[in-house]
Amino acid sequence: MPYVLSNKLLHAVLACACLGALVAAGSASAQEASFTGGAAFVPPPPPPKKAKVRADGKAIAPRGAPRRVRRVITAANRLIGKPYRYGGGHKPFSRTLDSGYDCSGSVSYALYGGRFLRSPLPSGDLMTWGRRNPGRWITVYANAGHTYVYVAGLRFDTGMRDDPNHTGPAWSKRLRRNDSYVPRHPRGY
């Protein structure tokens, strides 16, 4: 009888040890996921052709870019020079521009130009917009508090600007770390 009891006790101890190891491993990965929002750095792929930034800060679409990509760049260029304004760009889209734009208002307006959106979305909603992962021509990076978009190899963003003396949407050639951002893209782009 003592042999059977000690065997059962050994099995119980081993089961508890295994369970404890699983809980510890899950806790560590949960802490890592909460630190990065469950996302990892995913750079956008190099586009088939790369856009350029002019001296006035506006982008030039590359030759051969799809029409909708060119339209996104054209719409985003309309916002260059507009100041950053929290909540800006969230009225229904029209021909009249808002007085200023925040991050999601800027990205929404650019996507609207390419006919990818019908109304502005906040950055949290852009986390589930479109398709998962980076796109070939257009990649939206979003989290609950910020969003930006890469179009034909250029970043259109209201943060991490090349000119620190200006606020508002702008184009940049520099990559931005995106560990806490979810990459999304419109289907086929």
CA angle 131-180-113, nearest 5°? 45
Architecture of the domain defined by 52-185: Alpha-Beta Complex (3.90)
List, in order, residues 6 or more apart from 4 with CB less than 8 Å away: none
- Average pLDDT by stretches of 10, the chain with 189 residues: 52 48 42 48 80 95 96 98 95 93 98 97 97 96 96 94 83 87 96
pTM of the model: 0.77
Task: Determine the Cα–Cα distance for residues 188 and 135; give it in Å rounded to an integer.
Answer: 8
Q: Where are the domains of the chain?
A: 1-36, 52-185
pLDDT tens readout for residues 140-182: 999 999 999 999 999 999 987 777 777 899 999 988 888 899 9
> What pLDDT sits at residue 29?
38
